[in-house]
Amino acid sequence: MKFLRQKILEQRKSLPIAAVEKRLVEEVRNNHTLIIVGETGSGKTTQLPQYLFKAGFCRDVKLVGVTQPRRVAAVTVAKRVAEESGVQLGQRVGYSVRFDDMTCGSTRIKYMTDGLLLREALLDPRLSRYSVIVVDEAHERTVHTDVLLGLLKNVQKARSQSANELAGRANSNNDTNLEKDNGVQMASPPKQGQVAKLPPLRLIIMSASLDARIFSEYFGGAKAVHVQGRQFPVDVFYTLHAETDYVEAAMVTIFQIHLEEAPGDILVFLTGQEEIESVEGLVRDKLPQLPEGNRNMVTVPIYASLPSEQQMKAFMPAPDGFRKVILATNIAETSVTIPGIKYVVDPGVVKARNYNPRTGIESLNIIPTSKAQALQRSGRAGREGPGKCFRLYTEREFEKLADSTVPEIKRCNLSNVILQLKALGIDDIIGFDFMEKPSRMAIVKSLEELFLLGALTEEYKLSDPIGNQMAKLPLDPIYSKALILSSQFNCLEEMLIAVSMLSVESIFFTPREKQEEARTAVKRFSSPEGDHITLINVYRSCDEFLESGNANSSKEKTFKNMKKWCKENFVNGRSLRHARDVHSQIRDHVKQMGLRIASCGEDMLLFRRCLAASFFLNAALKQPDGTYRALASSQMVQIHPTSVLFRAKPDCIIFNELVRTNQNYIRDVTRIDPMWLTELAPHFYARQD
Ligand code: ADP
Ligand code: MG
């Protein structure tokens, strides 16, 4: 048997990118901005940072930072690269994502989300710790990637100016030193009292889409290099008729492949945790009905909010003789490459944000993928040999798909990024050099929203202290506002729990075959006032249960107990654990900010008033027909069937989010008194009726 390290070394050498290592390093030396385009799986994300480290780009205690649009990618890739480099994760190779930092002083290759690097810029505007920033998966064009590119352009300018000044003064250029260097360098700390000399910031933009032109143009004609990939033929199959239920269709297809096709793992694209868990359940229930010899199939989920220790499971080979079915969100489209896939099942849909600047409402919609996405997805079946892709829609539907996805910046609420830009001292948002400008209306609407939340002054400057505090919290502005206000309403304890629970997907777990039981279980927690308090009840009940057990019990024991408790109560254990993580992190944040953490005890009226004071932009009034009118947008909406207020239908409510499926559904709803709106948000409601 080969040693693992040697096997890994051979794998690394066989990647398409390995053949061009030297050339790539040369190009990075010679170009301050470089665009690297290469097919998914060619080795860009895992290999390039290691090449740069080896070539000495981390000398002088500098880091190579690699940004990813998704936290799962940052985490799993960092783990892989640590393994490949033979180092412990969190040492030389680490990652940092919201609520989870695995880096230390000796970290040199740092994977992180693009959103996190934006936040780092708040503390260190010239990103002085980095010699190279790699913006990975740029083709995804998330709103954070787009804003980050604009910001990096500024940082690059600032840093080359400072480098030139220094070069003029000292007649020596840091950068030339770097170029002469070819070996692995020991990091040496800067001497005390020395002016911080900053080498120019090198920027590498990596993309899986073949069209490098827009990036090149944006960076003044930056050079682009292509890395040849390796792709085996993939047979694509369509359905003859449109499917009405793609979850059901996906399940049927999984079993068809399992029973009729040669060995090989299956990758299924679904839209989110809820769907993934529902398919997991369906497959689990159906497997025992197969003939004995055919039950050799296992499912593994992978999605953004999956706890990181579980994410790695998707990469592990299935037990001998078993077929692995990976149930993934579009994270598996280009961000992570899982070995062994031979079949792809593609329902052709994706969950995407959509923003209507006229109404100011952002919603999550399930929409058709673009052609480019469909091609990326099918390509995943042909990485290691010929494969098959089953598109769960007709060929005519494929022809009708848009060529590529609209960049997120054109279809999302901009409040979050505008707040960040303001905090970075960039006041002229409309004049900011965006790669693709969001509409003026969207910018104005978001500015207005931030003003209404108190984050901006009438001159649209960051307000103090509210705006500053809000910018510091790694949360959506409205959640940050709720936390800040709740310390005045004496219910920060409660709001911390509510915000943590709202930050994760589906706390309740409703198996299809046990719907009645699940409903009864939920009743134990449900509050007549609404979903927010219900969520708090769940969180606290679990806490009480854990505390009532042995306080000294081991971590494993606690974990086991919690799992059992969740199962009995139809609570999603994964989500609840995630929420508890988020809770402890935000708690640290608000403590550091000096907010007063207090509880309102039994007096939930205070908590609801605080919700009204913060979520007043998401208030809705009942109409005679039992539907609701959202007050800020005049949109007609309905309470989602999973809400505890679905039947009660109170007159006036606030909601957390709008989800559009076949209806406009509002989720996470709490009853409020309409008079509170004029009392607590007079700047918005006094001028209206
Ligand atoms: P790219 O960024 O060009 O899409 P990657 O660098 O992500 O490519 O992947 C290169 C190779 O590394 C792939 O063939 C993939 O199978 C392998 N790989 C990546 N992550 C892991 C992992 N966690 N476990 C095993 N193999 C991995
Ligand atoms: Mg990659």
When pLDDT is averaged across residues 267-283 and rounded to a whole number, the result is 93
The first and second tokens of residue 165, run together, are: 């000044």
**Mean of the per-residue pLDDT values of the chain:** 90
Confidence band of 177 (pLDDT split at 50, 70, 90): very low
Is the CA virtual torsion 304, 82, 299, 390 positive or negative?
A: positive
Are 24 and 206 spatial neighbours (Cβ–Cβ below 8 Å)? Answer: no
Confidence band of 187 (pLDDT split at 50, 70, 90): very low
Which residues contact residue 361 at a Cβ distance below 8 angstroms, ignoring those fewer than 6 apart? 355, 630, 632, 633, 635, 658
Residue nearest atom 21 of ligand 1, based on CA coordinates: 80
Amino acid, res. 177? N
Q: Which of 234-238, 249-253, 304-308, 598-602 has the lowest mean pLDDT?
A: 304-308
pLDDT in tens, 554-598: 878 888 889 999 999 999 998 999 899 999 999 999 999 999 999
Ligand whose nearest atom lies closest to the CA of 230: 1
Residue nearest atom 14 of ligand 1, based on CA coordinates: 41
**Domain 2-227 matches domain 234-406 at the CATH topology level:** yes
Q: Which CATH code, of 3.90.226.10, 3.40.50.300, 2.40.30.10, 3.30.1330.60, is assigned to 2-227?
A: 3.40.50.300
The first and second tokens of residue 686, run together, are: 């006094």
Lookup result for tokens 């108190």: 454
In three-state form (DSSP H/G/I as H, E/B as E, the rest C), the secondary structure along 91-148 is CCEEEEECCEEECCCCCCEEEEEHHHHHHHHHHCCCCCCEEEEEECCHHHCCHHHHHH
Are 90 and 104 spatial neighbours (Cβ–Cβ below 8 Å)? Answer: yes
Which residues contact residue 627 at a Cβ distance below 8 angstroms, ignoring those fewer than 6 apart? 636, 637, 638
When pLDDT is averaged across residues 330-347 and rounded to a whole number, the result is 92
Strands in 93-97's sheet, in edge-to-edge order, are: 100-102, 93-97, 109-113, 63-68, 130-135, 202-207, 33-38, 223-227
Question: Could you tell me the pTM of the whole model?
Answer: 0.87
pLDDT in tens, 361-390: 788 889 999 999 999 999 999 999 999 999
- Judge if the beta carbon of residue 386 lies within 6 A of ligand 1: no
pLDDT value for 360: 75
Which residues contact residue 234 at a Cβ distance below 8 angstroms, ignoring those fewer than 6 apart? 344, 378, 379, 381, 382, 386, 387, 388, 389
pLDDT in tens, 419-453: 999 999 999 999 999 999 999 999 999 999 999 99
pLDDT at 210 over 80: no
CATH T-level assignment (fold) for domain 473-601:
Four Helix Bundle (Hemerythrin (Met), subunit A) (1.20.120)
User: How many whole angstroms separate alpha carbon 536 and alpha carbon 526?
Assistant: 10
Ligand 1 mean position, distance from CA 336 (Å)? 7
- Judge if the beta carbon of residue 329 lies within 6 A of ligand 1: no
The first and second tokens of residue 89, run together, are: 């994760």
Q: Is the ipTM of this complex over 0.85?
A: yes
pLDDT value for 579: 93
The values of phi and psi at residue 132, to 5°, are -135, 135
What is each CA distance from 169 to 163, 166, 172, 197, 323, in whole angstroms? 10, 5, 8, 11, 65
Q: Which CATH code, of 3.30.70.420, 3.40.50.620, 3.40.47.40, 3.40.50.300, is assigned to 234-406?
A: 3.40.50.300
Atom of ligand 1 nearest to the CA of 39: 3
pLDDT in tens, 496-534: 999 999 998 889 987 767 778 888 888 999 999 999 999
* Structural domain boundaries in the chain: 2-227, 234-406, 473-601, 615-689
Amino acid, res. 74? A
- Judge if the beta carbon of residue 664 lies within 6 A of ligand 1: no
